[in-house]
Amino acid sequence: MVVMPPREHDLAAENEALRKDIEILQHEVEVLSAKVAELEARLGQNSRSSSLPPSSDSPKSRAERRAAQREAAKAKVPRQSVPAVSSPAPPARPSSAAVTPTRSSSTSPNDATPAGTTSPTPRPRA
């Protein structure tokens, strides 16, 4: 089989057709790149960057926003550790002058204090 050399006229026509195809494809790339940029911009919108209501945010973005707010709050106000406090001291007992000893001779179960013990008299409320 003998291969015939292509004619120059055929090569020129093929070359011109390929150049037109390249121009068409370059234009399509520009159009599609603009669409991608527009869609990426729309995808990045949320209630903070548009007039959309907060309910339109996806649950993930709301959770991310709340987590970011918590982190920002922690960074703003560092928590100070509170020193450990030992158990509080018992209240001071009234002086013996304020206590009137009472002795009870009966040991009925209704008595608040057992026989032979003293109890402080109730103080008047101020």
Return d(Cα 107, Cα 111) in angstroms, integer.
7
pLDDT tens across 81-90, in order? 666 666 667 7
pLDDT beneath 70: ranges in the chain: 1-6, 61, 77-88, 94-120, 122, 126
Identify the pLDDT of residue 55. Answer: 77
Identify the pLDDT of residue 36. Answer: 95
- Structural Rg of the chain based on CA atoms: 46
Return d(Cα 49, Cα 69) in angstroms, integer.
16
What predicted TM-score, i.e. pTM, was given to this entire model? 0.38
